[in-house]
A = this chain, B = another copy of it.
Amino acid sequence: MKCDIKDIHIADKGRLRIQWAAQDMPVLNLLKGRYGAYKPLKDINIAACMHVTTETANLVETLKIAGANVVLCASNPLSTQDDVAASIVRDMEIPVYAIRGENSDIYYRHIFDALESEPHITMDDGADLLTTLHKDFDLSKVLGGTEETTTGVIRLRAMEEEDALKYPVIAVNDADTKHLFDNRYGTGQSTIDGIIRATNRLLAGSIFVVCGYGWCGKGIAMRAKGLGARVIITEIDPIKALEAVMDGFEVMTIREASRIGDFFCTVTGNINVIDMGEFSNMKNGAMVANSGHFNVELNLEALEKMTKFKRVIRDNNVEYTLKTGIKINILGEGRLINLASAEGHPSAVMDMSFANQVMAAIYLVNNHHTLMKKVYRMPIELDKEIAKLKLDAMEIDIDELTEEQEHYLNNWEHGT
């Protein structure tokens, strides 16, 4: 089988960890049973460009069980778990192109490798696969695609706007069971986890600056506060900024915040959010991470120019000594800190995100002929079904509308 991974011999450890993840992915397990029976993805080629983690392993296994031919490549050069890649290849017999720490050239070569499979469906985590496919490949066989992230959806909507999008895409990210959970609780916990592993610093009593108060930013802020930090938010959207104020956080410009923060974490989807001016302001010992999709949120080039000396002081932690003598620590090379320095989102949230991926793929197969070259929301009924399956797995019962209530809600004439 074609593939490009680091070392097939570490598959055992990967397999155990994949099993561990599976134990906290009840919805995906249920779908394995359901779709294994009637193979709704039979003969469908799927190219998936995702973080190669234990949860993704369970996703691609589910897709295969549902009948698909799957290939997998990395959606980030630093996020691949090599033991997991090995087990996917060896134990699931699914081709993988991903090596942790691969450079940008190899990263894109791997995307090309994956696209050689002539996919009917693309699965993206940041839209690199889709955009590469749009630039350099024949699109005639493609039925549709899915996109996992806020960042990817922003790119796709820009493409749609310019009529550059050539097939329908389901914005899995916009499913409630994805972005309300994965982006908030998943990113929240795992980002903090990555920062703590890279620093072992106490958050209690520290000043923690979160750039961006979208769902991810809300999650990180909530967790930093939950660990005792004094949290500062920076934003460009006045509504989100005001929400942060009302949530009890301080809000100020990043320029102002850069003078006082101990920790910084960007999660904006934008470029150069922490730039030369901010680095110049920072206190000695400031720790800077990014949890946005791309590592462009920190202007590391600018930082390099300001630096006279740098060294790796801990795993995933590079100390830059500036010409001024001030030391700044960049965590995980500015890449997604939860994947670079921790293990990505916990399985429990990826369970729902990936149940959306599976259902979205089947939905595309069944409905592609009625869909336009647009970005679509995940159908709300599927979204709610996933939530219900998750609650069932947790043995949590909720209320159902009585007939009387259903009638009441549909009747506008009752008043005070």
Contacts and interface: CB of A to CB of B under 8 A. Distances in A.
Interface of A: 16-17, 19-21, 23-24, 75-77, 104, 107, 126-128, 131-132, 154-156, 158-159, 162, 164, 176-177, 180-181, 184-186, 188-189, 193, 196-197, 200-205, 222-223, 225-230, 234-239, 241-243, 245-254, 256, 269-273, 285, 294, 296, 311-314, 317, 327, 342-343, 345-349, 383-384, 387-388, 390-391, 394, 396-402, 404-405, 408-416
B398 A234 contact: yes
Given A201-B348, A285-B23, A387 B242 contact: yes
Given A388-B238, A416-B126, A230 B250 contact: yes
B189 A399 contact: no
A332 B176 CA distance: 36
Contact of A397 (B256, B404, B409): B256
B202 A189 contact: yes
A345 B158 CA distance: 40
A238 B391 contact: yes
A82 B224 CA distance: 31
Q: Please state the number of chain copies in the assembly.
A: 4
A92 to B, nearest CB: 19
Most chain B CB within 10 A, of A226, A229, A294, A398, is at A398
Nearest to A78: B416
B131 A412 contact: yes
Contacts of A126: 415-416
A345 to B, nearest CB: 8
Contacts of A402: 272
B201 A242 contact: no
A398 B186 contact: no
Nearest to A190: B200
A384 B19 CA distance: 47
A104 B415 CA distance: 10
B272 A416 contact: no
Contacts of A17: 313-314
Given A246-B205, A396-B241, A415-B126, A227 B223 contact: yes
Contact of A234 (B311, B399, B416): B399
A292 B354 CA distance: 36
A404 B348 CA distance: 38
Nearest to A260: B395
Given A230-B249, A245-B394, 16 more contacts: A24-B202, A128-B415, A128-B416, A177-B239, A177-B242, A180-B243, A185-B205, A193-B196, A200-B346, A226-B227, A235-B399, A238-B391, A238-B398, A241-B387, A241-B398, A270-B409
A150 to B, nearest CB: 12
Contacts of A21: 200
A230 B246 contact: no
A347 B200 CA distance: 8
A399 B313 CA distance: 32
Given A237-B384, A248-B225, A398-B251, A412 B347 contact: no
A279 to B, nearest CB: 16
A204 B228 contact: no
Contacts of A311: 16
Nearest to A206: B348
Nearest to A20: B313
A34 B98 CA distance: 54
Contact of A416 (B156, B294, B413): B294
19 contacts: A127-B415, A154-B412, A189-B202, A193-B193, A200-B346, A205-B248, A225-B248, A226-B227, A227-B227, A235-B398, A236-B399, A242-B387, A242-B391, A252-B398, A253-B398, A270-B409, A271-B408, A294-B416, A296-B414
